[in-house]
Structure 1
Amino acid sequence: MTSGSGLTDASLMLHVRPRQLLLLARLDAHRHLGRAAEAMNISQPAATKLLQQLEDSLGEKLFERLARGMEPTPYGEILIRYARRVLSDFGSAREEMLALRSGLSGSLRVGSVPGAVPELLAPALVEYHRRHPQVAVSVVVETSDVMQAQLEQGDVDLVLGRLTDGHDEAKYASVPLLGESQVVVVRTTHPVFERATVTLAEMANWSWVLQPPGSPQRGRFEAAMREAGIQARLDIIETASPIAITALLENSDMAAVMPASQASHYARLGVLRTVPVELPVRVPPICLVTRQDRALSPAAAQFRRQLLGGA
């Protein structure tokens, strides 16, 4: 991209010095060149020169000189926001470097949908805890809509789930990590396995354990039933608790819908078994979701790097 001065962004960055960005942040805080210079431990003429050089490089006036101080121009407001982000990111990087040098400590709060636990979250947390035993780790397992609200409120550092409708996607960074099919599961001794075949229409007469309304899985399951021409009202118990789902299935002929990896986990334990029927339910991939406007703690930032394949 080319600036108004004719220079590319990369060339223009060579003319922008860290001290100039620090001066912008101090000027925004003090709105007075002398006090900003004092906060940087430099002379006022030196501060004046730094600001003038920056304005000359960018070809824009960044501050209005007033009788009792200085006010940023609209161009100055833009560059002040950039300077703040640079300084904040540098501070976060320094914190992470110091934390890694001394051994990570603090806390890590992870929110996850049930489907991410067996294949994604559990292996990652075991390895993370091995590397960083001093970090206190807590995990909340809920549906994506509940996890999204907890991330919004700051109750968790990051989420393994899906962005749901009604949230401002610009606030979040979302990286797909796990995509898989949904399957129907029942107890291992369910009478359905005595039959040669089973259809979706026949399963509409079963009793179900489904996630609460608002969860992506629930909405897509009900949409798939309607698209298949099944209008019958389903017999449903609602819960997002994995232990409640498995306990209900073990003690009844009810059925549930879950990701294939989660079903495989319970099958290995001899608890549940997948019904041999194709379920026309496609849900978006499970993503690593973080806030764009909130810096992660060193402990959370390291876990994010690990999930994304970093060291």
Structure 2
Amino acid sequence: MSIARRLKTSHLRLILRVAETGKLQSAAEEIAISQPAASRMLSEIETLVGAPLFTRHAKGMATTAIGETVVRHARQILQSFDRLETDVQQVTDGRTGSVRIGTVTGPAVGMVVPVIRAVRELAPEVEFTVEVAPSAALLRGLDEGNFDFIIARPPPDDSGHHYRIHPARNEVVSMLVCRDHPLAGRKSLRLRDLADFEWVIQDRGTPIRAAVEAAFYANRVKRPTQVTNTSSLLVALALLQGSTAIAPQSYEVAELLAGSGLDVNVTRLDLVEDILVSPFFVIVQQDRQLSPVAEQVIQETFRRI
């Protein structure tokens, strides 16, 4: 049997203490055993290694060449064990580890980003992965184990037995335009004032698209005829530049782009009608046991609902 398999943690601690103190009695006291027991243990270790680890002289004990090698490895192994204990405790306490969150666009800005910042203040080593996608894709990812939890809209045919579903918020739609748009800065605009302009809007069937179309119907306004369909925020922003196009986005996204000083040359229109998207929810698999750090993150998310 190899030396590594036969040496015990107690052996390593004794070797390290003898090397540090130079005295067997002091080493024995530090690891709380008697000197005879320490002498027997050291003799056992040297037998396992097959060579003396220390030379004895009047002033104490000094390491041999082989002893230096064993001491170096003993120190590394014990330090690794100490780090292991610390790491396990941090994971248990939710202070480290990884969390994977899937979210639709609005709460990614309005909820997930503040949650990450709050958790990072207490646990800076937590690693976050955030994926933004439509609800259907997020639900598939949750089922496949790609996320700890998601912030999305549940499927209409779910009975509630497959997921734990926690109500979150409604999503409000804002209208983005470039800063030199003819309607920029005007107060109390109505949907009818917007209908004749070009629109850059999410694909058919998406919640924001459905909410905008419903608002046109409810206000008896003809829907826009100049439409570019895209779910890409980057494409939408590019199409707004130097044009009279209008792009509906969630309030949180619009606030980030238009109200935070980012140089993206867009502003929000002052629209009288409120356009509300169907609410989103925090969704977890029914049988999923979250890690301590994921549980901490989801609790922080609940506090912000």
Query: Do both proteins adopt the same fold according to a TM-score greater than 0.5, normalized to the shorter chain?
Result: yes
TM-fit CA distance, 1:232: 4.2
**Residue type matched to 2:92 in 1?**
L
Judged with a 3 Å threshold, the aligned counterparts in structure 2 of structure 1 residues 263 and 211 are, in CA distance, closer, same or farther, namely same
Q: TM-score, structure 1 length as denominator?
A: 0.60
Question: 1:164–1:216: 8 Å Cα contact kept in structure 2?
Answer: no
SS at match of 1:308: helix
Q: Which moved more, 1:228-237 or 1:281-290?
A: 228-237
The answer on 1:126 being equivalent to 2:126 is no
Judged with a 3 Å threshold, the aligned counterparts in structure 2 of structure 1 residues 132 and 197 are, in CA distance, closer, same or farther, namely closer
Question: 1:186–1:253: 8 Å Cα contact kept in structure 2?
Answer: yes
In the other structure, the counterpart of 1:50 is none
SS at match of 1:266: helix
Q: 2-side partners of 1:243 and 1:249: how far apart?
A: 10
Judged with a 3 Å threshold, the aligned counterparts in structure 2 of structure 1 residues 101 and 198 are, in CA distance, closer, same or farther, namely closer
In the other structure, the counterpart of 1:290 is 284
In the other structure, the counterpart of 1:104 is 96
The answer on 1:219 being equivalent to 2:210 is yes
Q: State the aligned residue count.
A: 214
TM-fit CA distance, 1:97: 7.8
Judged with a 3 Å threshold, the aligned counterparts in structure 2 of structure 1 residues 102 and 298 are, in CA distance, closer, same or farther, namely closer
**Residue type matched to 1:258 in 2?**
Q
The answer on 1:181 being equivalent to 2:172 is yes
The answer on 1:142 being equivalent to 2:133 is yes
In the other structure, the counterpart of 1:281 is 275
**Residue type matched to 1:267 in 2?**
A
Identity of aligned residues (%): 25
**Residue type matched to 1:283 in 2?**
V
**Residue type matched to 2:226 in 1?**
D
Q: 2-side partners of 1:214 and 1:166: how far apart?
A: 16
Question: 1:144–1:216: 8 Å Cα contact kept in structure 2?
Answer: no
TM-fit CA distance, 1:198: 4.1
| Structure 2: runs of 5 or more not aligned | 1-87
Q: 2-side partners of 1:250 and 1:164: how far apart?
A: 36
Q: TM-score, structure 2 length as denominator?
A: 0.61
In the other structure, the counterpart of 1:26 is none
Q: 1-side partners of 2:188 and 2:125: how far apart?
A: 52
TM-fit CA distance, 1:98: 7.4
Q: 1-side partners of 2:242 and 2:129: how far apart?
A: 30
The answer on 1:244 being equivalent to 2:235 is yes
**Residue type matched to 1:208 in 2?**
W
Q: 2-side partners of 1:192 and 1:126: how far apart?
A: 36
Judged with a 3 Å threshold, the aligned counterparts in structure 2 of structure 1 residues 155 and 209 are, in CA distance, closer, same or farther, namely farther
Q: 2-side partners of 1:167 and 1:115: how far apart?
A: 23
**Residue type matched to 2:105 in 1?**
P
Judged with a 3 Å threshold, the aligned counterparts in structure 2 of structure 1 residues 265 and 196 are, in CA distance, closer, same or farther, namely closer
Judged with a 3 Å threshold, the aligned counterparts in structure 2 of structure 1 residues 192 and 244 are, in CA distance, closer, same or farther, namely same
Give the aligned CA root-mean-square deviation in angstroms.
Answer: 2.8
Q: 2-side partners of 1:289 and 1:277: how far apart?
A: 32
TM-fit CA distance, 1:122: 0.8
Bigger Cα Rg: 2
Question: 2:172–2:274: 8 Å Cα contact kept in structure 1?
Answer: no
Q: Which of these residues, 232, 249, 256, is aligned with residue 265 of structure 1?
A: 256
TM-fit CA distance, 1:140: 0.8
After the TM superposition, which residues 1-311 of structure 1 pair with which residues of structure 2 at under 5 Å, given as runs? 99-101=91-93, 103-105=95-97, 107-193=98-184, 198-232=189-223, 234-268=225-259, 269=261, 271=264, 272-309=266-303
**Residue type matched to 2:134 in 1?**
T
Q: 2-side partners of 1:135 and 1:194: how far apart?
A: 43
